[in-house]
Amino acid sequence: LRDVLGLTEHLESCQLFKAGLRYYFPAGDNSDITRRVELGGTIVPPIRSHQIDRGRFENMLWAQNQQDQIECWDNCSVRTIDLQESRHTITVERGDTLETIGARWVVDAAGRAGVLKRQLGLAEAVDHQAGAVWFRINDKIDIGQWSTDSDWRGRVPEGIRWLGTNHLMDRGYWVWLIPLAGDVTSVGIVADSKIHPHSGMNRFDRALNWLQQHEPQCAAAVAERQHLLQDFRVLKQYPHGCRRVFSSQRWCITGEAGVFSDPFYSPGTDFIGMSNSLVTDLIVRDVRGEPIEMRAEFYNQSYLSTFKSFLATYTNQYALMGNADVMVAKVVWDWACYWGVTALLFFHDNKLFDMEWATSMREELKRFNLLYTDMQGFFQQWANATPQPRMDEFINILNFPFMEDLYYGLNAGLDDQALKRQLTDNLALLESIADECKRHQSIRNKYGAHHFGARTPILA
For the cut 50, the answer to whether the pLDDT of residue 453 exceeds it is no
Range of the domain at 310: 248-452
Please check whether residues 219 and 258 belong to one and the same domain.
no
Cα distances from 15 to residues 10, 12, 22, in angstroms, run 7, 6, 19
For the cut 80, the answer to whether the pLDDT of residue 360 exceeds it is yes
Dihedral sign of CA atoms 36, 217, 321, 40 in order: negative
Boundary-marking domain end, from 190, 208, 235: 235
Contact 202/243 with Cβ under 8 angstroms?
no
pLDDT in tens, 18-59: 999 999 999 999 999 999 999 999 988 888 899 999 999 999
pLDDT > 70 fraction of the chain, expressed in percent and rounded? 94
Q: Which is higher by pLDDT, 402 or 452? A: 402
Please check whether residues 173 and 92 belong to one and the same domain.
no
Please check whether residues 199 and 223 belong to one and the same domain.
yes
For the cut 80, the answer to whether the pLDDT of residue 387 exceeds it is no
Please check whether residues 318 and 378 belong to one and the same domain.
yes
Q: Using pLDDT thresholds of 50, 70 and 90, give the confidence band for residue 388.
A: low
pLDDT in tens, 200-249: 999 999 999 999 999 999 999 999 999 999 999 999 999 999 999 999 99
E-state strands within 283-401: 394-396
Q: Among the listed ranges 79-83, 335-339, 453-457, which one has the minimum average pLDDT value?
A: 453-457
Q: Using pLDDT thresholds of 50, 70 and 90, give the confidence band for residue 318.
A: very high
Q: Among the listed ranges 194-208, 377-391, 413-427, which one has the minimum average pLDDT value?
A: 377-391
Please check whether residues 335 and 195 belong to one and the same domain.
no
For the cut 80, the answer to whether the pLDDT of residue 451 exceeds it is no
For the cut 50, the answer to whether the pLDDT of residue 9 exceeds it is yes
pLDDT > 90 fraction of the chain, expressed in percent and rounded? 85
The DSSP call for residue 362 is H
Q: Average pLDDT, stretch 147-151?
A: 96
| CATH number (domain holding residue 44) | 3.30.9.100
Report the pLDDT value the prediction gives residue 438, as an integer from 0 to 100: 84
Please check whether residues 281 and 422 belong to one and the same domain.
yes
229 is a domain residue: yes
Dihedral sign of CA atoms 202, 205, 208, 210 in order: negative
Contact 297/354 with Cβ under 8 angstroms?
no
Report the pLDDT value the prediction gives residue 445, as an integer from 0 to 100: 32
Tally the domains of the chain: 3
Please check whether residues 194 and 297 belong to one and the same domain.
no
Q: Among the listed ranges 122-136, 291-305, 405-419, 426-440, which one has the minimum average pLDDT value?
A: 426-440
pLDDT in tens, 248-270: 999 999 999 999 999 999 998 89
| pTM > 0.85 | yes
For the cut 70, the answer to whether the pLDDT of residue 446 exceeds it is no
For the cut 70, the answer to whether the pLDDT of residue 321 exceeds it is yes
